[in-house]
Amino acid sequence: MGKGSAAQDNVIDYINVEQAVGAKHHQLDGDAAGEGKVSISQVAAHAGVSVATVSRVLNASQAVRESTRARVTASIHALGYRVNQLARSLRTDESRLLLVMVPDIGNPFYAQIVQGIDEAVQARSYALLLCETNGDPFRERRYLDLLHTRRADGAICLDPDTVQQARQAEALHFPWVACCEFDRGAGIPYAGIDNRAAAREAAAYLLDKGHCRIAFVNSDTRYMYARERLQGYMDALAAAGIEVEDEYLVRAEGLDFAAGRSAVAGLLALTDPPTAIFAVSDTLALGVMRGLHDSGLSVPGDMAVMGFDDIDLARQTCPSLTTVAQPMRDLGRHAAALLLRRLDTQKSGAEGIILPHSLVLRESA
C-alpha cells in the first residue's frame, strides 16, 4: 500500500520541526504576531527568491538549483515557517482528512478497527475525523456533511447498513467505503467478513459437540451482520436436520453486556431450555455468561456459550470465551487502503474485500 504515494506527500511538513521551533529564539525580524504567523512570502523575501520557488522546495517538485534550495530551507528554519494547510487545501482542493463514522467508540470492537484505519493512514499523513453516530441517521447525515463542505476527502463508515442505505445516492458520488457492514450490491467498496459462513461454522461446532438445542441471541437487525449471522445459524441447523425453534431466537435490546445478561432469563424459563447459547457478539456473550452465573449455572458445564468478534475481553473472562475471531485491525487497514486507492485513482473500483475469520476454541464451549 502506498509505495509510489510518497510523492504526493509533503516533504517539509514533518521534518525538522525541532529546528523550526527552536528557531523562534533567534527570530529577529519580529512581525507583529511573531507566533506561527510566518507566510510563504516572508520566507521568499528572507531567502531572496519568489514565492513560487519556495513552494517548489516545499513540495519537492520540479527542479530547483541546490544552492537555492539550501537558501530557502535555511530561511524556512530561521523563520520557523510552517505551511498553512488551510491555504494549501483550498488551492489543491483536498483536506487530507478522512471521516470515520462509528456507531460507538466505547465499544472495543470498533475501537480496534479505528486503530487499524489509523495505522494504514499514518504513512500517508492523512488524519482522522472521528464521528460517533450511535447508528443515528441524522447524526450520520450531519457528519457526512463534512464531506460536502470539503472538510474531509473521504469517509469510512461502520454504521448499520440501513443507515448506509439512506445515503446510497450520495455514496455513489463520494469517496466512501464501508467496513464490517456492507451491501455487496450497493456498488460501494467494502471490507468485511463472511458473516453467514462464520456463524454457520460456529453453530456447526456447537452441533458437533452434541448440542441440539442451541439458542441464538441476536442484536439489532438493522445491522446486516445480525441478519447474516442468523442465516448462518439457520443454515447449520438445517444442515443437521434440526428444526429452528422460535423460542430459541432471542433478540436482545442493544448489543452490550446488560442486554446479554437480561436475555438469559427468558431462555432459562423455557420448558425445554437450550444447552448452548450462541450470541452474535462477545459483549453480548459476556452478558449471557453473567446472566447464567446469576442463575447459578456453570459454563460450559450446564450451558455452553459461544460469542462473536474475539475482542480482548474474550480471552480474559473466566471461563474464557469460545468465539469467532474477526480480524479487526486488518478490517480497518483494508478499508482505509480501499479508500486511499479510490482517492488516488479517482475511479471507484467498487469491489469489496472479504477477510478470513476463524473459530477460537476456549473454555466456554
Partner DNA sequence: CTGAAAGCGCTAACAC
Partner DNA sequence: GTGTTAGCGCTTTCAG
Is there binding between residue 59 and DNA (CB under 7 A)?
Answer: yes
Which CB, 40 or 217, lies closer to DNA?
A: 40
Is there binding between residue 53 and DNA (CB under 7 A)?
Answer: yes
Distance CA 331, CA 310 (A): 13
Q: Which long-range contacts (CB under 8 A, 24 or more apart) does 45-49 make?
A: 46/75, 46/78, 46/79, 47/71, 47/72, 47/74, 47/75
Contact by Cβ (8 Å): 154, 343: yes
**Cell (9 digits) for 82:** 510552517
Min dist. Cβ of residue 234 to a copy of itself (A): 30
- Which residues lie closer than 8 Å to 270 by C-beta, 6 or more apart? 247
**Residue pointed to by grid coordinates 456463524:** 199
Is there binding between residue 76 and DNA (CB under 7 A)?
Answer: no
Min dist. Cβ of residue 87 to a copy of itself (A): 5
Contact by Cβ (8 Å): 360, 308: no
Is there binding between residue 23 and DNA (CB under 7 A)?
Answer: no
x/- binding map, residues 166-185, to DNA, per CB under 7 A? Answer: --------------------
Nearest residue to 160 (alpha-carbon basis) of 187, 121, 186, 133 = 133
- Which residues lie closer than 8 Å to 330 by C-beta, 6 or more apart? 116, 355
Is there binding between residue 363 and a copy of itself (CB under 8 A)?
Answer: no
Which CB, 269 or 318, lies closer to a copy of itself?
A: 318
Pairing of strands 358-360, 322-325: antiparallel
Which CB, 51 or 350, lies closer to DNA?
A: 51
x/- binding map, residues 90-129, to a copy of itself, per CB under 8 A? Answer: x--x-x-x--x----xx-x--xx-xx--x--------xxx
Among 3, 25, 26, 65, binds DNA (CB under 7 A): 65
x/- binding map, residues 188-207, to a copy of itself, per CB under 8 A? Answer: --------------------
- Which residues lie closer than 8 Å to 34 by C-beta, 6 or more apart? 27
Among 50, 293, 344, 363, binds a copy of itself (CB under 8 A): 293
Is there binding between residue 84 and DNA (CB under 7 A)?
Answer: yes
Is there binding between residue 60 and DNA (CB under 7 A)?
Answer: no
Nearest residue to 219 (alpha-carbon basis) of 104, 315, 332 = 104
Which CB, 62 or 295, lies closer to DNA?
A: 62
Residue 313, binding choice from DNA, a copy of itself, none, Cβ under 5 to 8 Å by partner class: a copy of itself
Residue 7, binding choice from a copy of itself, DNA, none, Cβ under 5 to 8 Å by partner class: none
Contact by Cβ (8 Å): 112, 332: yes
Burial of 314 (0-12, 13-18, 19+ CB in 10 A): buried
CA-derived radius of gyration, the chain: 27
Min dist. Cβ of residue 322 to a copy of itself (A): 17
x/- binding map, residues 267-286, to a copy of itself, per CB under 8 A? Answer: -------------------x
* C-alpha 108 chain-centroid distance: 11
Contact by Cβ (8 Å): 235, 262: no
Residue 116, binding choice from DNA, a copy of itself, none, Cβ under 5 to 8 Å by partner class: none
Q: Which residues bind DNA (CB under 7 A)?
A: 10, 37, 39-41, 48-56, 58-59, 61-65, 67-69, 81, 83-84, 87-88, 90-93
Q: Which residues bind a copy of itself (CB under 8 A)?
A: 13-14, 17, 21, 35-36, 82-87, 89-90, 93, 95, 97, 100, 105-106, 108, 111-112, 114-115, 118, 127-132, 141-143, 145-146, 148-151, 169-170, 173, 257, 286-287, 290, 293, 312-313, 316, 318
